[in-house]
Amino acid sequence: MMKRIPVLALAALVFVPAVLSAQRFGVAGRAGTIGVGVEGAVGLADRLVIRGGIGLLPLEVDPTSLWDLGEGVSATLKLPDTWYNIGVDFYLGSSFRIGGGMLFKPDDPTITGTLTGSASINIGGQTYTVEDVTGITGKFASKNRAPYALIGFGKHTSSGIGLFLDLGVVLLGEPNLHLTATGNSSLINSSDFQTRLRTEEQSLEDRAGTYLKYWPILNLGLRVGIGG
C-alpha cells in the first residue's frame, strides 16, 4: 500500500495541470544523488510551487574503504533502486528557492561480503576463515519515508526551457542493521556465533550510522515551464 501512495501523488501532479489550465506547470528531467528521473511541478501562487518526482538509482559501490570487513573479503553496498519525492518550493526571488517535503524509498541499503580462497573475516571479535563462513549479508533498515530540506536555483514553472539545481539533505533517521551469514551451518546456528553476529551488528551500526542517517541531495536538471 505504501508503494502506491507516492505513485498516486505523482500521477496527480501530472494530470492536475490538464484541468487547471490557468495555473503554471512544468516538467523536468534530472540526475543526481536521488537518481536519474523526471519531475512535475504545479504553481499554486507566484512564489509557491508543488513539485514531485521519481528517480532510479541502480548503484552498487565497494564499501571496503569505509569498513574493514576482513582480509580478502570482497564486498558490495547496494543502494535503494527507486526514490520518490513530493514537496513544496517557496521562491525568495525569481529563481532562488527553499523547499521541503517527503522522500519515499521502497527498499533499504544492503551490504554483501563474500569470502574466497584464504580470506578471513572478524565477527564480534572472533576471526573466521572460509571453511567456517562463506558470506555475510546485512540490511540497513530505516523508515520507508523521510523528510527533506533543500535550497535551489531555477523555477520549474517559469515559461520556457532552463536549468535547475537542488542542494539539500534527507533525514533518514537511525538505521537498524540485521546481519545473516552463510557457511558451516553447525557453527552459524550456534548461540556463540549468533551472539557475535549481534555484536558485529552494533559495531557496524556505530561505524555506518553517520553515513546512512543523512542522505545528501545534489540534483542538476533541465526543465520546461508551460502556462501562465
In this prediction, residues 70-79 reach a mean pLDDT of: 79
Query: pLDDT tens-digit profile of 101-114?
Result: 999 988 888 888 88
User: Could you give the CA distance from residue 149 to residue 98 in angstroms, rounded to a whole number?
Assistant: 8
Residue with cell 490538464: 18
Q: What was the pLDDT predicted at 52?
A: 96
Confidence (pTM): 0.76
Residue with cell 542538476: 220
Radius of gyration over every alpha carbon of the chain, rounded to an integer in angstroms:
22
Q: What was the pLDDT predicted at 19?
A: 44
User: Could you give the CA distance from residue 33 to residue 192 in angstroms, rounded to a whole number?
Assistant: 40
Q: Where in the sequence is the domain holding 57, given as residue range(s)?
A: 4-226
Specify whether the CB–CB gap between 17 and 218 falls below 8 A. no
User: Could you give the CA distance from residue 145 to residue 9 in angstroms, rounded to a whole number?
Assistant: 14
- Judged on CB neighbours under 10 Å (0-12, 13-18, 19+), 203 is middle
Q: Residues in the chain, how many? A: 228
**Which grid coordinates belong to 114?**
563474500
Among 84-93, 117-126, 161-170, the range scoring the smallest mean pLDDT is 117-126
Domain CATH code at residue 208: 2.40.160.170
Specify whether the CB–CB gap between 135 and 183 falls below 8 A. yes
Q: What was the pLDDT predicted at 66?
A: 61
User: Could you give the CA distance from residue 66 to residue 84 in angstroms, rounded to a whole number?
Assistant: 27
Specify whether the CB–CB gap between 82 and 227 falls below 8 A. no
Specify whether the CB–CB gap between 53 and 85 falls below 8 A. yes
- The total domain count for the chain is 1
**Which grid coordinates belong to 194?**
549468533
Query: pLDDT tens-digit profile of 18-30?
Result: 444 446 889 999 9
The mean of the pLDDT values for the chain is 85
Q: What was the pLDDT predicted at 55?
A: 95
DSSP β-bridge partners for residue 111 = 77, 138
Specify whether the CB–CB gap between 149 and 175 falls below 8 A. no
User: Could you give the CA distance from residue 219 to residue 224 in angstroms, rounded to a whole number?
Assistant: 16
In this prediction, residues 198-225 reach a mean pLDDT of: 85
Specify whether the CB–CB gap between 74 and 65 falls below 8 A. no
Query: pLDDT tens-digit profile of 80-92?
Result: 889 999 999 999 9
